[in-house]
Amino acid sequence: MEKGEIINRVYLILESGGNNCNIFAIEGKETVLVDCGIPEVYENLIKNMESFGLPFPSFILITHCHFDHALAGYLFEKNGSKIVAHEKTAEALEKEIYKIWPENVSAVKKTKVEIKFKEDKVIEIGGIKINLLHTPGHTAGSSSFLIEIEGKKCLFTGDLILEDGKIGWKGSIDFNIEELEKV
Ligand SMILES: [Zn+2]
């Protein structure tokens, strides 16, 4: 996948690589990021958003707690973004931080989650409806986010399913294949 606008108003802000997942931005009246990567790419993310004319994100949706998706959350939170995550992901981000990066716990900082959800629900941010879906398996709190923009549906799955349709990384502390197959 290449950096840029994938469908109207949905951007791939940073391609996966090194210690980072793909990071997407949704352009509404406010900017929403889906996942936020590691602190080392924070500046780059801001720069890339600016190059697409996107203001600093008001909200960050976190698909799951792994470092390559969530570690920079505290930086965004410090600078005014509100973090949205499933309550089990929130537990990892706020308390059980070893779940974020078991091999490198000393690099992990706590991130406060402003909006937590338990059941699937729809929220509206900046005029865009976002379906928050709990899709556990890859981790206990793994979530997917479904949006519809100008008649096109877009589903963000984190590491649940890879681009080739295969199941994502299975090494997580709380990976659960039975949960995943129910999704
Ligand atoms: Zn993961």
pLDDT in tens, 104-163: 999 999 999 999 999 999 999 999 999 999 999 899 999 999 998 888 888 899 888 766
Residue 181 pLDDT: 67
Residue 16 pLDDT: 87
- Count Cβ neighbours within 10 Å for each residue of 68-85 and write b for 16 or more, e otherwise: bbbbbbbbbbeeebbbbb
pLDDT in tens, 97-107: 999 999 999 99
Q: Which spans in 19-97 are helix H?
A: 42-51, 67-70, 73-78, 87-94
Output the CA 170–ligand 1 centroid distance in Å: 8
Output the CA 140–ligand 1 centroid distance in Å: 11
pTM: 0.91
Output the CA 52–ligand 1 centroid distance in Å: 27
Output the CA 90–ligand 1 centroid distance in Å: 15
Query: What confidence category does residue 2 fall into, taking pLDDT thresholds of 50, 70 and 90?
Result: low
Query: What confidence category does residue 81 fall into, taking pLDDT thresholds of 50, 70 and 90?
Result: very high
Output the CA 116–ligand 1 centroid distance in Å: 19
Which structural domains are found in the chain, ordered by start?
4-182 (3.60.15.10)
Output the CA 173–ligand 1 centroid distance in Å: 10
Output the CA 42–ligand 1 centroid distance in Å: 19
Residue 67 pLDDT: 96
